[in-house]
Structures are given as C-alpha cells and as structure tokens.
A and B are shown apart, each in its own frame.
Chain A
C-alpha cells in the first residue's frame, strides 16, 4: 500500500518529464532521415529517471507511466460500470461487465473447473486480461506499448505462473496437486516440473514477440509511408493483435489452471475405482 502510494507520487511528479520526452520523440521522428537509426531509437526504453541505491539502480521508464495510466483508466471504468448494481441490469456498464464475467466463467467451466472454482479464478484472470489488452491498445495513441520492454511480459508471466500454482493448490489441495503431477504415470513428473519453467517462458516470449514485432513494423510504416497506410495496417497490428494477445494470455492462464484441476479430478476418480475394485 505504502509502496504503491510512493510510486504513484513519483509517477505524478514525473508526468511533465514524460510529456516532454514524448513530444521530443514525436518531433524527432517527424524530421528523421536514417531509418535504421530511427528504429533503433524507437526500441530503446525511454528512461525518465534513474535512482542509485547502493549497487542497485532503479529505473523509471515510460513502461511504468503507461501501465499506471492504464491501471487508473481500468479502475475508473470498472468503478463507473459497477457503481449502480441492479438485479435486472439496465445500463450498459453493468451489462457489459456481466457478460464479460459470464464469458470468463463459461471458459473456465469448459476447461474443466466447477462453477465454484471458476468463480474464484475469474477475478485475477479477468484483471490480467484487461490489463494486457488495454496496455497493448496504448499503441493506438502512438504511445509505445509497455510490452515492448521485455521486463513487462516477463514480470506478468512470472506472476501468472505463481498464481497458477498457488490457486490450483488452493482449489484441489496439496494432495490433488501432487496427484495431477504424477497422474497417469510417475515417470511424467520431471516433464511436468519442466512444464512450469517452459510455460512462463512461452507466455512471456509470445506477448513480447508479438507486441515488439508489431511495434517495430508500425514504426517502420510510420517512417516510410506516414500517410493513410498506417491507419489501415494499424487496424490489425495495433487494435486486433493487441486484443488477441490479451485474450490468448487469459485463455492460456485459464487452461493451465483447468489442466491441473482436471488432472487432480481424474486421478481422484481413478483412485476411487481402484479402491472399489479392491473391496
């Protein structure tokens, strides 16, 4: 809580510097001659502020500012949508948010969770999906999307895999989690453990590669043909691809949890069958 308040104040005090850096970048890009240098400039993180603490270096780049803006935006929109709750929804906010939650609940149930389990998974998963979607959509406003900095997707993927492990232990218990690891044969255990290293890597690389590739391509198009074409190509690379990446991240997170829950369930079922056969 205290940390977030401090961070928020730092972000506020550096907002002006952020806008100055942003404006300088726009002006520089308008008068650019060398394409390679321009792209290299575009992929460098905009460092607003460095803070030396001993041997550590805290770096505040545009990633932090953009993600905090998105967080405030999501908070305000969600607050407005959930302010007046009625039993029979009449305004758009409640309808939209209810259908979004319903969609996620259905997705969870399709991937092998019960309704109660799905209800406990949806808040985190929906939040992370909305966050990724809206941060990717920031490239619509010519603000570099935070996911082009590899630190952002790596942090999200680590958080997600920790959440997947913790929440599946909470849902099926430690015994169920172990049973899902060794379910058909105990021989699979090393591969299952390796999976927990590969999954966050593939999540992070997928998000980073897609957003970074789209960002570089859009920068390239903005430099060589700045008229009309970026609007058409941007429909896919800024709008659709950003939403798709958020949806895929959410979908995969749900699938990872559902896999463990279903594995535990099947192992339990097998165990019961074997017990009844003994009797």
Chain B
C-alpha cells in the first residue's frame, strides 16, 4: 500500500481527535472555573468531577492515538 497515504491517514486521525478533545476539555474546564468562581466553597468537589470528566474526554484522544500508531506500525 502507499506509505504516504498511510501517514496522511494517521496524521488526520490523531489531529481531528486531538482537536475535538481539546475543545471538549476547554469547555469542561471553562465551566468548572465558572462554577468555582460562583461557589468557591464547592471547589474540592468540582475539581474531582472535572478530573473525572477530563479523564473520559482524554480517553477518546488516546483511542485515536492508538489507531494512528497501529496505522503507522502495523501496516
């Protein structure tokens, strides 16, 4: 198969997923800062929830990373 196309596919996979995950993490943490500013006494709980949410959002980017690594090294 064409090496260049595989490289392009791998780059596109991780780039799209990383962009989407970055937007997601940005939205989540922005909302969390907003909530902390409104209710500073809840900051501990908000931080824990933010961490959980970020872990799940980040997982999608990690799946894309695995897929692109597979594209590069398995083909």
A residues with a Cβ closer than 8 A to B are 40, 43, 110, 202, 205-206, 208-210, 212-213, 216, 248, 251-252, 255
In the complex, A230 Cα to B69 Cα: how many Å? 21
Interface residues of B in 43-61 (CB under 8 A from A): 48, 51-52, 55, 58-59
Contacting pair B65 A40 (CB below 8 A): no
Bound complex: CA A140 to CA B52 (Å): 27
Contacts between the two chains (Cβ within 8 Å), count: 31
Does the CB pair A210–B62 fall under 8 Å?
Answer: yes
Contact between A202 and B69, CB atoms less than 8 A apart: no
Alpha-carbon gap, A252 to B66, bound state (A): 20
Q: In whole angstroms, what is the CA distance A252 to B73 when docked?
A: 30
A209 partner, pick from B51, B55, B66, B73, beta carbons under 8 A: B66
Cross-chain contact of A110 among B48, B55, B66, B69 (Cβ < 8 A) = B48
Is the CB–CB distance between B59 and A206 below 8 Å?
yes
Q: Is the interface of B mostly helix, strand, loop or mixed?
A: helix
Question: CA of A206 to CA of B58 in the docked complex: distance in angstroms?
Answer: 9
A212 touches B69 (CB 8 A): yes
Q: Cβ of A212: which chain B residues have Cβ within 8 Å of it?
A: 66, 69
Interface residues on B, range: 10 to 19
Contact status of A255 and B52, CB under 8 A, knowing A40-B73, A43-B73, A202-B59 = yes
Which 3 pairs across A and B sit closest by C-beta, in order of nearness?
A209-B62, A209-B66, A209-B65
CA–CA, A251 and B59, complex, Å: 15
Offer 26 A-B interface pairs, CB within 8 angstroms, sorted by A.
A40-B73, A43-B73, A110-B48, A205-B59, A205-B62, A205-B63, A205-B66, A206-B58, A206-B59, A206-B62, A209-B62, A209-B63, A209-B65, A209-B69, A210-B62, A212-B66, A212-B69, A213-B62, A213-B65, A213-B69, A216-B69, A248-B55, A251-B52, A251-B55, A252-B55, A255-B52
Q: Once the chains are docked, how many angstroms separate the CA of A212 from the CA of B63?
A: 12
Q: How far is the CB of A132 from the nearest CB of chain B, in Å?
A: 15
Q: How many angstroms from the CA of A210 to the CA of B55 in the assembled complex?
A: 12
Q: Which residues of A contact B58 (CB under 8 A)?
A: 206
Task: Give chain B residues whose Cβ lies under 8 Å from the Cβ of A252.
Answer: 55
**Bound Cα distance from A187 to B10, whole angstroms:** 39
How many angstroms from the CA of A248 to the CA of B73 in the assembled complex?
Answer: 27
